[in-house]
């Protein structure tokens, strides 16, 4: 069977998913796209051979021949679009985060439950081969009991100032750290109960004007008594640097590497290698794999691999970590 999909959002990440849906995942038929920017919408429709396009996503949702939607709209609109898609009876894949507040998370989850549709969130790192293997090894007991988590998420350049505004993206910790918060609870098999953040605007002073920072370190305490640390940065000028370490009672796991290819250049001046340029080079296949998994959960009528509740918990950690940065104190997750 083929799932008929409508794409809502045709910006930078919308184009990524348009390519995946149109050319990479054979199990879907991309039949429509919607974006408020008519020019962008038309361009994406033409490039990816999408028959119909709309500037109002509600028009797309009215179509009876669409089984599911992929939502790649601005962060602040995710919950609103999810609720509308659920009311229209569409299964839903949405980019992260679910919402910027727990109230909006709860409203989106409730709407999905009331409609009886499926909701999967776009935490693509879970579908990366290296992370999936690490999770398998942890579940098999290969490293014993996980006791320490360490993760780095570093972008090679800063985002636009408009996107950096908290009302748009949630800020550095929400936008980037939410992936690591999801990984932390998934790989460690335990909920985060307390966070403590130190961060600042250290490289790009212009980010202060929009209320954001460019570097942060977040310490974690898990319900299992395990500990963790996450660093997020917008100034890894050397490349896209995504790595994770899990230490267990009987061993450890290192996930990810900075080197893109296996070629070393060896000269009298020394030994050098390339670095990972950006997110598509690192996680391109993972984006496609998560869509295939979403399609499979519809066809097999099973729960999505990354649920609304998973996304809510990651958002709760992000909110607490941001509050810790703002107020200079540890924050207990259950108290936010």
Tell me the per-residue pLDDT of 90-129, one tens digit each, with 9 for 90 and over.
999 999 999 999 999 999 999 999 999 999 999 999 999 9
Q: Does the fold of domain 126-284+313-335 match that of domain 3-122? A: no
User: Taking each helix axis from N to C terminus, what angle separates 38-47 and 12-19, rounded to the nearest 10 degrees?
Assistant: 20
Q: Quote the distance between the C-alpha of residue 70 and its chain's center.
A: 14
Q: Is the dihedral of CA 174, 177, 179, 182 positive or negative?
A: negative
3-state SS assignment for residue 159: coil
Place of tokens 């810790």: 324
The yes/no answer on whether domain 126-284+313-335 falls in CATH 3.50.30.50 is no
List the strands of the sheet with 331-332, edge to edge.
251-255, 241-248, 146-154, 227-233, 215-222, 192-200, 331-332
**In the chain, what's the furthest Cα-to-Cα distance?**
67
- DSSP-derived letter for residue 38 is H
- How many Å from the N-terminal Cα to the C-terminal Cα in the chain? 44
3-122 maps to CATH 3.40.50.720: yes
Domain ranges within the chain, ordered by starting residue: 3-122, 126-284+313-335
Which tens digits make up the pLDDT trace of 21-59? 999 999 999 999 999 999 999 999 999 999 999 999 999
**pLDDT digit string, tens, across residues 57-86:** 999 999 999 999 999 999 999 999 999 999
């Amino acid at each position: 069977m083929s799932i008929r999909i409508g794409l809502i959002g045709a910006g930078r990440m919308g184009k990524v998913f348009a390519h995946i849906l149109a050319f990479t995942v054979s199990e879907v038929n991309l039949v429509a796209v919607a974006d408020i920017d008519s020019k962008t919408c038309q361009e994406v429709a033409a490039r990816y051979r999408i028959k119909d396009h709309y500037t109002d996503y509600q028009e797309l949702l009215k179509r009876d021949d669409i089984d599911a939607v992929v939502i790649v709209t601005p962060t602040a609109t995710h919950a609103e679009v999810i609720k509308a898609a659920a009311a229209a009876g569409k299964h839903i894949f949405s980019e992260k985060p679910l919402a910027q507040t727990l109230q909006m998370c709860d409203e989106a989850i409730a709407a999905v439950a009331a409609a009886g549709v499926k909701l999967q969130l776009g935490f693509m790192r879970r579908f990366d081969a290296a992370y999936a293997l690490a999770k398998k090894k942890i579940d098999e007991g290969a490293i014993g009991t996980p006791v320490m988590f360490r993760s780095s998420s570093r972008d090679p350049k800063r985002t636009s100032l408009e996107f950096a505004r908290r009302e748009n993206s949630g800020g550095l910790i929400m936008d980037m750290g939410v992936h690591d918060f999801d990984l932390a609870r998934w790989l460690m098999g335990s909920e985060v109960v307390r966070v403590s953040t130190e961060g600042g605007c250290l490289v790009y002073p212009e980010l202060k004007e929009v209320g954001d920072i460019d570097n942060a370190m977040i310490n974690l305490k898990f319900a299992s008594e395990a500990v963790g640390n996450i660093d997020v940065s917008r100034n890894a000028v050397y490349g896209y640097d995504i790595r994770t370490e899990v230490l267990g009672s009987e061993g450890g796991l290192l996930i990810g590497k900075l080197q893109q290819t296996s070629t070393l250049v060896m000269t009298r001046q020394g030994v050098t290698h390339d670095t990972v340029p950006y997110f598509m080079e690192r996680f391109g296949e993972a984006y496609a794999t998560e869509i295939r998994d979403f399609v499979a959960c519809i066809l097999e009528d099973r729960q999505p691999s990354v649920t609304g509740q998973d996304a809510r918990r990651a958002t709760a950690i992000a909110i607490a970590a941001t509050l810790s940065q703002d107020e200079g104190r540890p924050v207990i997750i259950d108290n936010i």
